Amino acid sequence: MRSSFLFDNFNKYARITESDFEQIEKVMSKRFVKKRRTLLTAGDVSRYIYFIEKGALRSFTIDKEGTEHVIQLALEDHWIADLYSFVTQVPGNVNIEAIEDSEVLLLPHHELDLLYDQVPALERYFRHLFQRAYVGLQQRLNTTVSLNAEDRYRMLIHDFPQVAARVPLIYVASFLGITPESLSRIRKQLFH
């Protein structure tokens, strides 16, 4: 299954040796996910955290009126999960679905706990990853309340141009907390 993509990702934030990486790879599996197929359904326990080798995924919730709210848009070289459910191992309220045909690596929760003891650098890596996720969430909440929709979109296309180019606008609008019609107007103003 050798994934140099994953090995390089680990070594952005921790020192994972080749032998450590072999231990990690032994417990991971690969899954091919067709566009619009679900990896995780609200109400299930998130038993895996997913690393995207190829493709694009989204995580989202659905409110009482049936409206979807995109929480995360993730492309290659990123992780995605219902972090609350994954960490607590209780049923969550997040769905994860492929936006494109995708290839993901699955790291099981029970194996990750064991790996923390065997590969201390992995615990350091995930601590850093979870801290970055928390900071990102805090920044996103801050921009949602302090920036208007146009500025939030500008920030997205500046910081994540691939997301803006590859992800359907309906999901981008939901991620930004605006209607697709509002995003259409913003894009028309910016690009015409």
> Rounded distance, CA 189 to CA 192, Å?
6
**pLDDT tops 90 at residue 38:** yes
CATH class belonging to 4-118 = mainly beta
**pLDDT tops 90 at residue 140:** no
Q: Mind listing the pLDDT tens digit for each residue in 150-166?
A: 999 999 999 899 988 89
98-126 in b/e form (b: 16+ CB < 10 A) is bbbebbbbbbebebbeebbeebebbbebb
Name beta bridge partners: 69. 61
Which whole-number Å values give the CA distances from 17 to 7, 21, 22, 108, in the listed order? 9, 6, 9, 20
**pLDDT tops 60 at residue 1:** no
**pLDDT tops 80 at residue 88:** yes
Beta strands 56-62; 95-98: pairing state: antiparallel
Place of tokens 């209780």: 90
Q: 94 falls in which pLDDT band (50, 70, 90)?
A: very high
Domain chopping of the chain, boundaries = 4-118
CA angle 88/173/60 to nearest 5° reads 20
Which of 63, 57, 53 lies closest to 25, judged by CA?
53
> Rounded distance, CA 22 to CA 163, Å?
31
Q: Mind listing the pLDDT tens digit for each residue in 107-139?
A: 999 999 999 999 999 999 999 999 998 898 888
CA angle 20/26/28 to nearest 5° reads 105
